[in-house]
């Protein structure tokens, strides 16, 4: 295609699957939809890896929503524990009460956690987890007499959540822009990208300049002012499937230790088994100080998140008046905790971590064969079932499509038309430009279903290629 041409068939709302008039009722309904330009597809049922709409169409849930529904849909065992728990005890306020369900889930998570993480604070989602971790890092430094330490270093193009504190440490320009005056300015360093190295290096010539960039930022800001560094071990929605070399994390750990900076690993997407191990950090020999998570731990059956912390955070909070001055109403509610415990039990009992690793390798290999050489595919990458396809307008120069082309939406719609749901995204180049799709199917995906994903994605790419304006 010629990028200079006017884009006159940008996606308008058709999923390419045809929508009945009845669905337009959505726009007259009370719902404040997320996407106000397009009709949503009404999903009425889920079964295994599939979602079904109100007109009986079937979609393979190739992203588990957004790396959420890791056990797939309609799991009867989870439904049973929810029902039993709701009858037994739905809620007790965490200011005075603890419950058996929270104790049990906390214990299970710590037994599977990266080395050194011994305490759990429950939340209801990823943004809450990151807000909690940032505040814990700050109060930890305060409690140790380091009152100046408040800044949180993050990476450009990253995403760590939608609330103002989490958004302030997110590098996605498009998401930040409307709220820019309300966001605390936080230092940003280079992202890790072996495909699109911000330092122009090749893997052979890499000296981990992107890790050293943390030290540069700390020296610029004054390390005495910096509380924490936050990063995803495997990047999720903002540049899916980026995995830096292990040496990157060793260098980050070293820098954080040298300057007394808390290392927060955001495993909201990469955690809870999605990488093929419980935590993506466990593929390295590095442990964070705080680990944040959500999404897969509730597997879509309930909102649930957590922050895992080293013992010293607990000890310092115990020593300060008022302890940790932070909390959320639904933190550790027994209904969500019961689901979390069952999710862990099922993943282990059914050997799903091994399946995640095997299906991840299968998808990588088959996608490489099917679309790896396509002129619009820059990179197919990931670990376990946290994968991404990065699209480019020009493979040789890695030039992204102009934002107006909205390649990401064209592709995700074409996938829906082929019966596969993928999570579209963008901003991998500079926080705004760069189209990609996140692939993160449920852990129960079988070999044939993985093949079905590859076929749907391949056809969708052919469809978009045909339909792009020339
Ligand atoms: N951190 C990461 C890495 C995420 O991908 C997300 C959401 O996509 C969040 C944090 C925010 O999580 P939530 O949407 O549950 O608030």
Domain identity same for 68 and 80: no
Domain identity same for 222 and 247: yes
126 within ligand 1 shell (Cβ under 6 A): yes
Domain identity same for 164 and 94: yes
Beta carbons within 10 angstroms of residue 101's beta carbon: 23
What's the pLDDT score for residue 22?
52
pLDDT tens digits along 27-43: 778 889 888 888 889 99
Where among 349, 382, 400 does a domain terminate?
Answer: 349
Residue 67 Cα to ligand 1 middle (Å): 10
165 within ligand 1 shell (Cβ under 6 A): no
Domain identity same for 59 and 88: no
The continuous run of DSSP H or E covering 65 comes out as: helix 64-67
pLDDT above 60: residue 340: yes
Residues 49, 138: Cα–Cα separation, whole Å: 41
Residue-averaged pLDDT of the chain = 94
Domain identity same for 124 and 87: yes
Q: Which structural domain range is residue 337 located in?
A: 76-349
What's the pLDDT score for residue 177?
96
pLDDT tens digits along 244-298: 999 999 999 999 999 999 999 999 999 999 999 999 999 999 999 999 999 999 9
pLDDT above 60: residue 6: no
- CATH number of 161's domain: 3.40.640.10
Where among 292, 322, 349 does a domain terminate?
Answer: 349
Mean pLDDT of the region 442-470: 96
What's the pLDDT score for residue 470?
62
pLDDT above 80: residue 16: no
What's the pLDDT score for residue 34?
87
pLDDT tens digits along 182-225: 999 999 999 999 999 999 999 999 999 999 999 999 999 999 99
pLDDT tens digits along 57-87: 999 999 999 999 999 999 999 999 999 999 9
Domain identity same for 160 and 171: yes
269 within ligand 1 shell (Cβ under 6 A): yes
Domain identity same for 213 and 260: yes
- CATH number of 405's domain: 3.90.1150.10
Domain identity same for 323 and 345: yes
Q: What is the CA radius of gyration of the chain?
A: 22
Of ligand 1's listed atoms, the one at least distance from the Cα of 270 is 3
Is residue 197 classed as helix, strand or coil in its secondary structure? coil
Domain count, the chain: 2
Where among 349, 375, 409 does a domain terminate?
Answer: 349
**With contact defined as beta carbons under 8 Å apart, do 436 and 239 qualify?**
yes
Domain identity same for 328 and 367: no
What's the pLDDT score for residue 21?
42
Mean pLDDT of the region 152-174: 97
Domain identity same for 28 and 95: no
Domain identity same for 120 and 206: yes
pTM beyond 0.75: yes
Domain identity same for 68 and 130: no
Pick the residue with more confidence: 84 or 22? 84
Residue 272 Cα to ligand 1 middle (Å): 14
């Amino acid at each position: 295609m010629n990028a200079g041409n006017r884009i006159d068939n940008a996606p308008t709302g058709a999923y390419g699957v045809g929508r009945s008039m009845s669905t337009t009722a959505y726009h007259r309904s009370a719902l404040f939809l997320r996407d106000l330009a397009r009709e949503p597809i009404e999903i009425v049922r889920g079964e295994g890896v599939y979602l079904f709409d109100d007109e009986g169409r079937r979609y393979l849930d190739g992203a588990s929503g957004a790396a959420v529904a890791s056990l797939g849909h309609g799991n009867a065992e989870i439904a049973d524990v929810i029902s039993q728990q709701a009858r037994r005890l739905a809620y007790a306020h965490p200011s005075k009460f603890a419950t058996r369900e929270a104790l049990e889930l906390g214990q299970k998570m710590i037994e599977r956690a990266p080395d050194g993480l011994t305490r759990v604070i429950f939340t209801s989602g990823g943004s809450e987890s990151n807000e909690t971790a940032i505040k814990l890092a700050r109060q930890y430094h305060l409690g140790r007499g380091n009152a100046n330490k408040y800044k949180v270093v993050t990476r450009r193009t990253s995403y760590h959540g939608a609330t103002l504190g989490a958004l302030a440490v997110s590098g996605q320009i498009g998401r930040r822009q409307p709220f820019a005056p309300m966001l605390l300015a936080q230092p940003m360093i280079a992202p890790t990208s072996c495909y699109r190295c911000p330092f122009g290096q090749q893997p052979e010539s890499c000296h981990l300049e992107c890790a050293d960039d943390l030290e540069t930022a700390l020296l610029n800001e004054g390390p005495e002012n910096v509380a924490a560094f936050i990063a995803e071990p495997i990047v999720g929605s903002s540049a899916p499937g980026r995995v830096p070399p292990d040496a990157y994390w060793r260098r980050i750990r070293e820098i954080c230790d040298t300057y007394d900076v808390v290392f927060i690993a955001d495993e909201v997407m990469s955690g809870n088994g999605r990488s093929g191990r419980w935590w993506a950090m466990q593929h390295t020999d590095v442990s964070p100080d705080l680990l944040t998570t959500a999404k897969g731990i509730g597997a879509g059956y309930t909102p649930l998140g957590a922050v895992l912390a080293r013992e010293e955070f607990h000890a310092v909070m115990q020593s300060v008046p008022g302890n940790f001055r932070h909390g959320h109403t639904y933190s550790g509610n027994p209904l969500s905790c019961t689901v979390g415990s069952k999710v862990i039990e099922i993943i282990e009992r059914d050997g799903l971590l091994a399946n995640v690793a095997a299906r991840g390798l299968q998808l990588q290999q088959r996608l490489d064969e099917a679309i790896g050489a396509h002129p619009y595919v820059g990179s197919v990458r990931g670990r376990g079932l946290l994968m991404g396809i990065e699209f480019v307008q020009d493979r040789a120069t890695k030039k992204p499509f102009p934002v107006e082309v909205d390649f990401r939406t064209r592709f995700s719609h074409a996938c829906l038309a082929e019966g596969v749901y993928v999570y579209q995204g963008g901003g991998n180049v500079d926080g705004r430009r760069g189209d990609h799709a996140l692939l993160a199917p449920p852990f129960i995906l079988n070999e044939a279903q993985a093949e079905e994903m590859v076929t749907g994605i391949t056809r969708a790419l052919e469809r978009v290629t045909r339909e792009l304006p020339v």
